Each structure stands twice: as C-alpha cells, then as structure tokens.
Amino acid sequence: MTPHLPTLIERLAGRHVLVVGDVILDEYLDGDALRISPEAPVPVLRFSGQRAVLGGAANTAANVASLGGRATLVGMVGEDAAGAQVRRLCVEAGVEFLPIADGRGTTRKTRVISRQQQLLRIDYEDARPIDEACQRRLLEIVQQHVGDADIVVVSDYAKGLLTGATMTGVRRMAHEGGRVVVVDPRPGHAAFYPGCDYLTPNWKEALGLLGVEEADPTPDAVLAVGARLRARFGAGVLVTLGARGMALFPKGEAPPITTRAEAREVFDVSGAGDTVVAAFALAVAGGCDPADAVWLANRAAAVVVGKRGTAVVTPAELA
C-alpha cells in the first residue's frame, strides 16, 4: 500500500541528521567528441563547460537538506580550491559543514562527458587512514554535535576518514545518546560495522561484506544474503537491487520487506546510494513504519537516477 506522501514528508521535516564520512567533490567536464586524435587512438573532446557538485558523504548531507531535514556534515577537505568549493556548495545546499584537515588535498572525481556518455573518470585522492590527532579531532566534533542530532549516518567511501577507532567512537557516542546509526558501507571495512543499527549496501557490496563471489540477485539469493548479513552484523539491512528494487531485513527476526523499483528511464546512477541512505535515515528519524521508510527510499532513488550526474531530490519531486 502506498503511504500518504504529504504525511510522510511532514515526518521528515526538520529532522536533524549528523553525517560523518568521506567528502568528495564531483566534477563534470562536458563537450563533444567528434573525432579521434591523430596522436593516439583516443577521442578528442571539444570542451563546452564544467560544473561541480557535492559527492560522497556531502551528497548524502545535501539530500537530507533537500528533503526538508537538517544536515550537519563532518568530513575532510584540503586547504585547496576544491576544498573551498566544497565549503561554498555546502552553504548553498543548506548543509552545516564541520571540516577537518591533515594537509592532504580534497578528494575529487572528475568525469569527462560527451553527449551524455562518460569517456573517462580521473580520481584525485589520498586514501591513507587519518592519523591519531585527526581521529581525536573527528571524535571531538562528533561528541559536540551528536546530542543535537536525531540520527547518525556514516557514509564510508574508504577514503581514509573512517578507521576502526573512529567508527567505534562514533557508534559508541551515538548509542550513549540513544541515536540510531545508519551505515552506507564498504566491503573492505566490514570489521568496522558490527553493532550498528542499519547497513545500506547495494547488491555488489552485500556480497563483498560476506566475502561471497559474484552471484545474480535472484529472490532466493537476496533472501539468503540479507539474512546472513543481518545475523553477522546484528543490524537491520537495506539491500538496494537496482532495477529489482530494494529489500529490508529488519533488525531481529521480523520478515523482510521488499519493494519493486518504480518504472522510469534510468539516466545516471551516480550518487543514488547517497539519496537512498538520506531518505531512509530521515524516515527512521521521523518514526516512520519500516515499510514506509523503504517505500520512501525507493521513490527517492527512482527520481534521482533520472537526473544527470550526482544529484538531490526534493519533496516536490517525490510527489
């Protein structure tokens, strides 16, 4: 049954989400590639424009704000032009940004696009784990702000901010204050997540978290993988399945809740997982029924994949 959307959106309004995670600046270079270079067998792009948007944990925070919530973001950027751009974009998006820095540059993903087709992606990153001084600073900031939040989201892109110590500290402080912790996970950090309240992996990440080889997301496989994840991490698990929809395995022994993907043309899946975790976390913070939270996250995903590049969703678009 489709929930009453206006009532659902009212429950999201003003909910405060503390987002902790890897901040990325997503850049797009646009143009036309109409010929092959005489110097090498590669296309020549005639440049026509560029743009930059918030990515990674910053995109999650931006989606929280665009959906009517209040977003506070804790992450790392450099003292460089890209870091200044992230700060400016956060102001424009209505996100309160509390940055830390350790001398490294801002993480960037630069995509080269010709007529809606991605030709190349260039990643600028230093994914070393942050040092102990930065870990202490991160946890000090979280401690100062977690009490004002309704829920905590950890957006882990494995770019160095999240370590075993920082993840343990964030989870402990959140739970001491009675806050739910929702994690957008990375398989390489599986050891960090036991004890969190929800994980939101896509199918590939779900398999990676279990160390399982590639498999098709058949209904039986989804049920088996979801049940194993829930048991291993002691958490509720929301598995996103692309065109097949989503499946939520609530914490405990409750039966799974599945929903089909809403039919529409898929333009770009970049950042869709950020939108899903933002919508789901807001719904949980607003006290929504689990089925309604999954429905909302699924609807938000259906909107954002129809947009170009990393993007956000608004309540009007949900309607």
Residues designated catalytic = 274
DSSP secondary structure string, the chain? ----HHHHHHHHTT-EEEEEE-EEEEEEEEEEEEEE-SSSSSEEEEEEEEEEEEEEHHHHHHHHHHTT-EEEEEEE--SSHHHHHHHHHHHHHTEEEEEE--SPPPPEEEEEEETTEEEEEEEE---PPP-HHHHHHHHHHHHHHGGG-SEEEEE--SSSS--HHHHHHHHHHHHHTT-EEEEE--GGGGGG-TT-SEE--BHHHHHHHHTPPP----HHHHHHHHHHHHHHHTSEEEEE-GGG-EEEE-SSSPPPEEEPPPP------TTHHHHHHHHHHHHHHTT--HHHHHHHHHHHHHHHTTSSSS----HHHH-
Comparing CA positions, the residue from 60, 3, 1, 69 lying closest to residue 288 is: 3
Confirm if 65 and 16 have CB atoms less than 8 A apart.
Answer: no
CB burial of 101-132 (b: ≥16 within 10 Å; e: otherwise) equals bbebbbbbbbbbbbeeeeeeeeebbeeebbee
53: its two tokens: 């948007």
CA–CA distance, 257 with 250 (Å, rounded to integer): 8
The residue written with tokens 């900031």 in the block is 141
